[in-house]
Structure 1
Amino acid sequence: MTPYAPPLPTRREDLLNRLAEPKVYDIAVVGGGATGLGVALDAAARGFSVVLIESHDFAKGTSSRATKLLHGGVRYLAQGNISLVREALHERTTLLRNAPHLAQPLAFVMPSYKWWETPFYGAGLTAYDLLAGKAGLGKTEFLGVNQTRNLIPQVATGGLKGGVKYWDGQFDDARLALTLARTAAAKGALVVNYCKATQLQYEARKVCGVLCEDTIGGRKFSIQSRCVVNATGVWVDALREKDGEANPHDGRSKTKPMVAPSQGVHIVVDREFLGGDTALMVPKTQDGRVLFAVPWLGKVILGTTDTPRHDLDREPRPFKEEVAFILEEAARYLKKAPTTEDIRSIWVGLRPLVKPQEDDGENTKAISREHTVLVSRSGLVTVTGGKWTTYRAMAEDVLAKCAEKNLLEARAAGATVHLRLQGADGVGVRQSAMSMPQGAHSYGLDYPAVHALPGRGVELAPGLTEAMVRFAARYEYAVTVEDVLARRARVLFLDARLAARLAPEVARILVEETGLPPKEAEFIALAAQYTEIPA
């Protein structure tokens, strides 16, 4: 069992002073999403010296905008991608064990409205169980009409024939990303948000570091490293292009981009539309997609879409037809159909799907969800694709490729298989969370440190106290109001109007704690977008 490590202070000035120290790191990671943070943690756990920089906040992009599911991928099984499903099921179990304060099993029901659906989908989900083996979370069950209604009280009952119950996992994506950052720091890594990579550095045409800039204060830094990993998600091609410009004989700059971005839209409504703690899954909507209605932190997430997106906006907005699609499909399966008036928040994530060179990028549903690791002639390591569930396996693949290319020495994999993440002891955390105040469970064993701060009895909103905001500033790298209300607490993603109302008080606390501009006005404008229905 990993001993509990008290929270480390994350005072920004101290982090930047460390970044300015002359040092040659073993590995520099660019990108603070799931993939980059996973690489930083795995490398630090193996004893490498590690620095990670992120141009915005950790998990600001795709990694905070997932459907919150840890899953093997039922639809990938239907596509025959057995290896991806098997790997994801194994990693699902690993994460449930290592972060029980952030990830839990979740029951799903697939309702049937045609006589053949229960046996047909039930057979596929039974195969899902068999693939999981000892990593299974619960046995697939065939349900009658009454059992289905009991588990999904608001399921549409007209023509209901029964259903199938199966198990997968659920997690808090942004808080997991933050926990990876904090765990990596506890292992010796230096991780810094709001620090943008501006240029790669070379020696004899080989990458030997990164130039970067503090996007808050403008301070510039030169990072020297034996290996540079480009883990910037849908934005990996930007750094690859810089590499190609610096090495024109490489030829890679002339190739097509690696990533075909796909947009996934999620709509949040009140819990009453589902009526229970079991998720609903529709395996095949009218246009062949998968639809989920997932209970999460007291609300319900409806989604998602899979639409090609050609721009790489940091705050992508949904297309009108995507919102209409989700609401129309939800109306077919829920007794009370949610409308645009019921929307508490709409958020969009861009998936970094790896694009085959001959693909035109228009059918993102058909592109593989597996990840890819490439090494350029200059030694720049790029990783993209994949999904949250397999972040740890992706990190191992990256370090294996670094060793294969002699960028790092080979060190035994598996350092993170049994590594409990910050706040988890692996014993009783999930059970003790049930007795914690609302919003406290995600801290796990760190909760006493939160509770010891000023403002522990001052509730700003259900599940958010003044002490939690102070903890975010002191120990969780939070700088802005958005950092707190979008990713340390998940208020923006649950109820955007409430988040806007909380902004002034959160800003006041942040100024007391950091002295940095909290960007209150920018956040209020952003929150308005999260309730904006596309015209």
Structure 2
Amino acid sequence: MNRNTLLNSLLEHDDQQWDVIVIGGGATGLGIALDAVTRGFRTILLEQSDFSKGTSSRSTKLVHGGVRYLAQGDILLVREALHERGLMLVNAPHLTTNQEFVIPAYTWWDCFLYTVGLKFYDLLAGSLSMGRSYFISASRVRTRLPLINPNRLKGGIVYHDGQFDDSRMAIALADAFVSRGGIALNYFRVTGLLKNEKKRIDGVKALDSGTGAEHIIRGRLVINATGVFADEIHRMDDPHSKPTIRPSQGVHIVLDGDFLQSSSAIMIPKTDDGRVLFAIPWFGKVVTGTTDTPLEKISEEPRALDYEIDFILKTAGRYLTRPPGRADILCIYAGLRPLAADPENPKSTKEISRRHKITISDSGLLSIVGGKWTSYRRMAEETLDRGIKAGLLPSRRCLTRNLKLYDNNQVLRQERLRIYGNRANEIEKLIVQNPGLGEKIVPGLPYTRAEIIWICRNEMPFTLEDMLARRTRALVLDARASIKMAPETARLMADELGFDITWQDEQIKAYNRFIMSYL
């Protein structure tokens, strides 16, 4: 993917009408764009900042049916998500893994309850099951989880779910979309909706943040897939539009792998306040969370609240023999879930289903809100089918169920490079040509100069933040180490993208300001 090439392609077709214009470059928008282009629709996607900048890069890193939603009785949601989980692991094997979980049980009733519940979870997965669940003794729990609190431990339940790299998955979807003829532009903000004489939406006005140029883009169908920002687009359509979502903040902290010392993850189904707690091994670290905090305001860069961080630390400390403290945190990240408020209890969001909602306005704006990463493909399919049913597009069937995002059996010297997809061997070729490019940029993080160069040439990073937060996961793995990585990364980016020393200095300063909310 090359931004200038895609921008030139847009300009060359400036007077043509697109079949589908997708607003939003997160999981939902990218999934819709890929579905649309594979159905043969001329499709363009516009993202106001970077791909997966918002909630889509701040998940728990799970591809799962949702044990929590099973407990809430939303069996249909769980069954659908388990099916999509299976498809995602088959279609993106380079970014997904089969993760073993252990639920430690401290009462015999919990042993019975969770064993039975997870057998039902297995049953709902059907032929796409990732492994059966089963009860294990307390001693076997301690073998799997050597740092689990053994006090009154009765046993545990083992089950399997999927794990993935969320922002790398977003880039894989964008690449698959562009390689099939779509245009995806980051830092391209939609500023207004266009309507014809019948007051039907027939395009958008957009601003290219890179050049400052304004664009008029015409299309048959405009899809609003902007997550927590959906109401902003609704108000462009109808200034009197009522709010349709209520943001709920989910916070995670990242700890060193020494706090878990296990390849198995911990899942606590019900904490003191009814939430779920995960402690999951991820690239040598431990992702721990999450919270569910209703918020009144929506921000592109949400900040974790002190009591959310304290809640995670306190709860994790109850189940681990080595309780983590604030000084042990490598990264703190917060994401906003676009949930609908419960009219009976507007201050609560933790019992609300994650089921998505699709609507069409009187002027033809097709919007989707809610949902979860695991179900992105099905959400995309249902969104386009809804547009077809409404007569906004001709009927064409979905082709993404078996669409492989990775189909290369290449042998790599460094297996971890497989996250870069079918062309990962190009990074190794750069290192063969210049061995110095294979050296780590800083100790403690795995990333090399060759990776930065290859990403610049193929994945459209626009800022230093894009590179350190989402193309690589340096920020999430160790925020302080990513600060040390910033100067050399900025230099490499400037050389590849044609920027000067002033750009480098500005990017480093901006990144140092940005990262403060992650520490």
TM-score, normalised by the number of residues in structure 1:
0.92
Q: Residue type of the partner of 1:458?
A: E
Look up the SS of the partner of 1:211 in the other structure: strand
Question: Aligned-pair distance for 1:288?
Answer: 0.7
Q: Deviations over 1:216-266 (max 9, x none)?
A: 221111111100001000000001011003xxxxxxx343x1111000000
Give 2:402's match in structure 1, choosing from 418, 440, 454. Answer: 418
Q: Deviations over 1:28-65 (max 9, x none)?
A: 00000000000000001111100001000000000000
CA pair 359-31 structure 1, distance change in 2 beyond 3 A: farther
1:382 aligns with 2:376: no
1:521 aligns with 2:498: no
Structure 2 equivalent of residue 460 of structure 1: 441
Cα distance in 2 for partners of 1:445, 1:26 equals 29
Look up the SS of the partner of 1:284 in the other structure: coil
Question: Aligned-pair distance for 1:14?
Answer: 2.1
Q: Deviations over 1:431-475 (max 9, x none)?
A: x6xx65264131233211222236542321432111111111111
Structure 1 equivalent of residue 326 of structure 2: 340
Q: Residue type of the partner of 1:404?
A: K
Cα distance in 1 for partners of 2:417, 2:493 equals 20
Cα distance in 2 for partners of 1:360, 1:191 equals 39
Matches within 5 A, 1:93-492: 93-204=86-197, 205-245=199-239, 253-255=240-242, 257-355=243-341, 358=343, 361-413=346-398, 415-421=399-405, 424-425=406-407, 436-437=413-414, 439-453=416-430, 456-461=437-442, 462-492=445-475
1:500 aligns with 2:500: no
Look up the SS of the partner of 1:228 in the other structure: strand
1:17 aligns with 2:8: yes
Cα distance in 1 for partners of 2:286, 2:357 equals 33
Asked whether the equivalents of residues 440 and 463 of structure 1 are also in contact (C-alpha less than 8 Å), the reply is: no
Cα distance in 2 for partners of 1:529, 1:321 equals 15
CA pair 120-436 structure 1, distance change in 2 beyond 3 A: farther
CA pair 59-254 structure 1, distance change in 2 beyond 3 A: closer
Matches within 5 A, 1:69-88: 69-88=62-81
Look up the SS of the partner of 2:438 in the other structure: coil
Q: Residue type of the partner of 1:191?
A: A
Q: Residue type of the partner of 2:122?
A: D
Asked whether the equivalents of residues 65 and 78 of structure 2 are also in contact (C-alpha less than 8 Å), the reply is: yes
Cα distance in 2 for partners of 1:483, 1:48 equals 29
Cα distance in 2 for partners of 1:334, 1:82 equals 32
Asked whether the equivalents of residues 437 and 463 of structure 1 are also in contact (C-alpha less than 8 Å), the reply is: no
Q: Residue type of the partner of 1:515?
A: G
Asked whether the equivalents of residues 122 and 142 of structure 1 are also in contact (C-alpha less than 8 Å), the reply is: yes
Cα distance in 2 for partners of 1:477, 1:254 equals 35
Cα distance in 1 for partners of 2:330, 2:30 equals 30
**What RMSD in Å do the two structures reach over aligned CA positions?**
1.4
CA pair 267-43 structure 1, distance change in 2 beyond 3 A: same
Cα distance in 2 for partners of 1:152, 1:331 equals 14
Q: Residue type of the partner of 2:84?
A: E
Question: Aligned-pair distance for 1:360?
Answer: 5.7
Cα distance in 1 for partners of 2:292, 2:237 equals 30
Structure 2 equivalent of residue 511 of structure 1: 494
Asked whether the equivalents of residues 273 and 336 of structure 1 are also in contact (C-alpha less than 8 Å), the reply is: yes
Structure 2 equivalent of residue 3 of structure 1: none
Question: Aligned-pair distance for 1:385?
Answer: 0.2
Q: Which runs of 5+ in 2 are unaligned?
A: none
Asked whether the equivalents of residues 331 and 478 of structure 2 are also in contact (C-alpha less than 8 Å), the reply is: yes
Cα distance in 2 for partners of 1:361, 1:525 equals 34
Question: Aligned-pair distance for 1:20?
Answer: 2.1
Cα distance in 2 for partners of 1:311, 1:216 equals 27
Asked whether the equivalents of residues 172 and 421 of structure 2 are also in contact (C-alpha less than 8 Å), the reply is: no
Look up the SS of the partner of 1:352 in the other structure: strand
Cα distance in 1 for partners of 2:416, 2:465 equals 18
Q: Residue type of the partner of 1:20?
A: L
Count of equivalent residues: 505
Asked whether the equivalents of residues 149 and 319 of structure 2 are also in contact (C-alpha less than 8 Å), the reply is: yes
Q: Deviations over 1:189-241 (max 9, x none)?
A: 00000100011111121111111111122111111110000100000000101
Q: Residue type of the partner of 1:291?
A: L
Cα distance in 1 for partners of 2:473, 2:194 equals 37
Question: Aligned-pair distance for 1:329?
Answer: 0.4
Question: Aligned-pair distance for 1:355?
Answer: 3.6
Q: Residue type of the partner of 1:371?
A: H
Q: Which runs of 5+ in 1 are unaligned?
A: 1-8, 246-252
Cα distance in 1 for partners of 2:211, 2:341 equals 37
Question: Aligned-pair distance for 1:108?
Answer: 0.2
Asked whether the equivalents of residues 354 and 369 of structure 1 are also in contact (C-alpha less than 8 Å), the reply is: no
Deviates more, 1:180-189 or 1:463-472: 463-472
Cα distance in 2 for partners of 1:486, 1:446 equals 21
Cα distance in 1 for partners of 2:9, 2:422 equals 28
Percent identical among aligned pairs is: 45
Cα distance in 2 for partners of 1:107, 1:187 equals 35
Cα distance in 2 for partners of 1:13, 1:132 equals 44
Cα distance in 1 for partners of 2:508, 2:407 equals 36
Q: Deviations over 1:327-369 (max 9, x none)?
A: 110011011000001000000010011346x356311112221
Cα distance in 1 for partners of 2:195, 2:241 equals 20
Matches within 5 A, 1:39-78: 39-78=32-71
